[in-house]
Amino acid sequence: MPRTVRDVVFVDGVRTPFGKAGPKGIYHETRADDLVVKAVRELLRRNPGLDPARIDEVAIAATTQIGDQGLTLGRTAGILAGLPQSVPGYSIDRMCAGAMTAVTTTAGSIAFGAYDVVVAGGVEHMGRHPMGEGVDPNPRFVSERLVDESALFMGMTAENLHDRYPSITKQRADEYAVRSQEKAAKAYADGSIQQDLVPISVRRTTPETGETGWGLATEDEPMRPGTTLENLAGLKTPFRPHGRVTAGNAAGLNDGATASLIASEEFAREAGLPVRMRLVSFAYTGVEPEVMGYGPIPATEKALAKAGLTIGDIGLFEINEAFAVQVLAFLEHYGIADDDARVNQYGGAIAFGHPLASSGVRLMTQLARQFEAQPEVRYGLTTMCVGFGMGASVIWENPHFAGGAQ
């Protein structure tokens, strides 16, 4: 019998504060699975009208699926979060686009009619599990010149992208990074970020005294408010002598988790759940692995074509800031100014951090907040580059659009 494709909506999204990876980071003594469990529990607390037994799937992404990020994380996180044992779950790995892939994969199942409502998110504890830990790249990649050796090092791919766009200078990248920090600080001052953060109890050992105690993580640790061009100008370029990529114009190594509720619009309305964004289209594409940061451009072109839209129809952009050059290349390709007001209004990963597989849902959560505040905007884009040469883009419609269907 013929099936009708159902509309899919973003109901809600939350995240932990993002931390700095390593012994001095807030989550050094916190398990990765506990981070995502806290996020799932917060989703349920915020949406008491949802019967947990109605959840059809828990899809959780992690890039390094070992240790406390392994063991079919979607299933184990669901059980740890108190979901009924009848709720299944699974894990996903698409590196940086893990949580985004969790959303779009389950969204396809919702549109098909297999699911009504799901939990989709991601976690990355780069302090416990550095990217690439335990992996064994096939030597054929380099020996047969299938990819350039630089493809295995994300910072080098960013330098390669600078080569492709010589007009994107280090100063432009630094200027963009300063704006990201400024916008993030303003978003915090305006209360635009905190409402979707899950406070996390953290166990900390003071290095100076060796004493251990408990604290509460309530804000993103990587932010550097007050960053200036002068601060950034003298930073080292670790990936290339006299290069352009620094710790100041790139996201750091971070820990954190995200979770979202995705549902059919029909189910959401019947259950009294909020409809915060409506899924329009999504696309993933591959690019040369050694210029990984180029990926959002063809992915966005593909998503726009599927939706019958143009870049001019997009009123808000949430672009993951793995590196400033990656965002600037996207903007330059589409003829968008570096400081366009539609882009990353709350700041981005350069300020907040980028715990790899979790970041896609952060983009969506921030876009949903912007939609609520700007009913004059109809369409928004969440997009990111992905390790080993991919791009990922999702186009959303604002259900609060002043001239659209409510």
Residues annotated as catalytic are 96, 354, 385
Distance separating alpha carbons of residues 239 and 250, to the nearest angstrom: 12
Instruction: Report the C-alpha gap between 317 and 309 in whole angstroms.
Output: 14
HSE, CB side, 13 Å, CA atoms: give it for residue 256.
34
The label of the residue with tokens 């992404």 reads 61
Q: Is 158 helix (H, G, I), strand (E, B) or coil?
A: helix
Among candidate residues 78, 358, 39, the one with its CA nearest the CA of residue 198: 39
Q: What are phi and psi of 131, to 5 degrees?
A: -55, 130
Report yes or no: 351 and 390 within 8 Å, Cβ to Cβ.
no
CA distance to 210, 213, 216, 235, 287, per residue, from 207 (Å)? 5, 12, 18, 26, 44
**φ and ψ of 28, to 5 deg:** -55, -35
Strand pairing report for 390-397 and 379-386: antiparallel
Rounded-to-integer distance, Cα 82 and Cα 209, Å:
37
Rounded CA separation 258/347 (Å) = 17
Count CB atoms within 10 A of the CB of residue 109: 17
The residues with which 197 forms a beta bridge, in sequence order, are 15
